[in-house]
């Protein structure tokens, strides 16, 4: 019981820490969006306005991530026995869709800008985007630690890291505009920003959609896990293995195991629980059968262990 309590306490502490980090990131980026959009309107810069729009979508995404993390801490009930942890997966999907919409908007505005070029200040663009490098870079650093084990935080981190690179591109465009007086560069930078966002969003969209459909989480190496299950002492054969994501940080599994003797059940269960834990599966339900029972009565397949 003490181990369970300490684990729950540590998990709660981690969530609180991530929540505080997200709040700081939200405030930093919201302040920058206001400044960047104001300068973009003042100097008629599509590069700044498109970047400000993207940063605003990032603020909204960070807000959604914060909301999902808070929802994940709520306890389960008779309708939601796992609690509201799945909301973290849904938020990841929503964030990806928002970014795709933003990409479409930036591309449309960039094409319009190509047809109607307006003189803009390269110096203002460069200085404003330079501040963006500092803000986005600081935000990415704050999120770097938490992104390793959470798809939501990973998505936010990738966006901020990519935004830092985009801001570098805007600085370069401002310098080029100042030197060449070629204002079409601003439109091309807007298109480049859209393509970069699209590339960074695609993997997040795919992984989020897969998790919504209860696919095996990407970080779990299924073939290696199946081999390890078959090699576990006491396992004669196994079937009905199902793995899915409860949230962006927690996974669950069910498994039917055939043992030679019922006396092997407890030791085998302990070994399998430990095995699942090493693969990042925190919730597991294992059903045991004896060797004289039929292995499979469906088309899902039965995996017989022939040697130990």
- CATH, residue 71: 1.20.1510.10
Question: Is 142 part of a structural domain of the chain?
Answer: yes
What's the pLDDT score for residue 117?
62
What's the pLDDT score for residue 120?
64
Domain final residue pick, 177, 212, 247:
212
Question: Is 43 part of a structural domain of the chain?
Answer: yes
- In this structure, the answer to whether residues 200 and 240 fall within a common structural domain is no
Q: Which domain holds residue 299?
A: 222-304
Question: Is 205 part of a structural domain of the chain?
Answer: yes
- In this structure, the answer to whether residues 232 and 205 fall within a common structural domain is no
Question: Is 184 part of a structural domain of the chain?
Answer: yes
- Whether this prediction's pTM lies above 0.85 is answered by no
- In this structure, the answer to whether residues 293 and 258 fall within a common structural domain is yes
Question: Is 171 part of a structural domain of the chain?
Answer: yes
- In this structure, the answer to whether residues 94 and 75 fall within a common structural domain is yes
> Can you give the chain as a three-state secondary structure string?
CHHHHHHHHHHHHHHHHHHHHHHHHHHHHHHHHHHHHHHHHHHCCHHHHHHHHHHHHHHHHHHHHHHHHHHHCCCCCCCCCCCCCCHHHHHHHHHHHHHHHHHHHHHHHHHHHHHCCCCCCHHHHHHHHHHHHHHHHHHHHHHHCHHHCCHHHHHHHHHHHHHHHHHHHHHHHHHHHHHHCCCHHHHHHHHHHHHHHHHHHHHHHHHHHHHHCCCCCCCCCHHHHHHHHHCCCCEEEEEEEEEEECCCCCEEEEEEEEECCHHHHHHHHHHHHHHHHHCCEEEEEEEEEECCCCCCCCCCCEEECCCC
What's the pLDDT score for residue 121?
64
Question: Is 137 part of a structural domain of the chain?
Answer: yes
- In this structure, the answer to whether residues 55 and 166 fall within a common structural domain is yes
pLDDT profile of the chain (308 residues), mean per 10: 42 60 86 84 73 76 82 82 85 82 78 70 74 83 73 74 76 80 77 79 86 90 93 90 90 92 88 93 91 54 44
What's the pLDDT score for residue 134?
86
- In this structure, the answer to whether residues 14 and 127 fall within a common structural domain is yes
Domain final residue pick, 212, 237, 269:
212
- In this structure, the answer to whether residues 16 and 126 fall within a common structural domain is yes
What's the pLDDT score for residue 299?
47
What whole-number distance in Å separates Cα of residue 107 and Cα of residue 103? 6
Q: How many domains does the chain have?
A: 2
């Amino acid at each position: 019981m003490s181990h369970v309590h300490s684990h729950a306490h540590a998990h709660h502490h981690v969530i609180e820490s991530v929540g505080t980090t997200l709040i700081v990131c939200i405030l930093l980026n919201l302040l920058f969006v206001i400044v960047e959009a104001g300068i973009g309107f003042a100097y008629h810069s599509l590069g700044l306005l498109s970047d400000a729009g993207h940063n605003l979508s990032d603020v909204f995404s960070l807000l959604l991530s914060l909301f999902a993390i808070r929802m994940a801490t709520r306890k389960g009930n008779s309708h939601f026995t796992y609690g509201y942890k799945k909301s973290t997966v849904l938020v990841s999907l929503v964030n990806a869709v928002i970014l795709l919409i933003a990409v479409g908007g930036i591309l449309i505005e960039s094409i319009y800008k190509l047809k109607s070029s307006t003189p803009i200040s390269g110096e203002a663009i460069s200085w404003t985007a330079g501040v963006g490098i500092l803000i986005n870079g600081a935000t990415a650093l704050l999120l770097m630690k938490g992104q390793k084990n959470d798809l939501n935080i990973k998505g936010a981190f990738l966006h901020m890291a990519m935004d830092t690179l985009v801001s570098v591109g805007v600085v370069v465009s401002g310098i080029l505009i100042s030197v060449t007086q070629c204002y079409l560069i601003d439109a091309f930078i807007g298109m480049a920003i859209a393509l970069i966002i699209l590339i960074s969003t695609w993997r997040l969209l795919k992984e989020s959609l897969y998790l919504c459909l209860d696919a095996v989480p990407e970080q779990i190496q299924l073939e290696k896990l199946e081999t390890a299950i078959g090699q576990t002492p006491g396992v004669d054969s196994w079937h009905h293995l199902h793995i899915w994501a409860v949230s962006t940080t927690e996974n669950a599994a069910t498994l039917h195991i055939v043992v030679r003797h019922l006396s092997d059940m407890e030791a085998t269960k302990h070994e399998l629980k430990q095995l699942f834990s090493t693969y990042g599966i925190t919730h597991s339900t294992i059903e045991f059968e004896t060797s004289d029972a039929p292995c499979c009565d469906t088309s899902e397949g039965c995996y017989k262990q022939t040697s130990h």
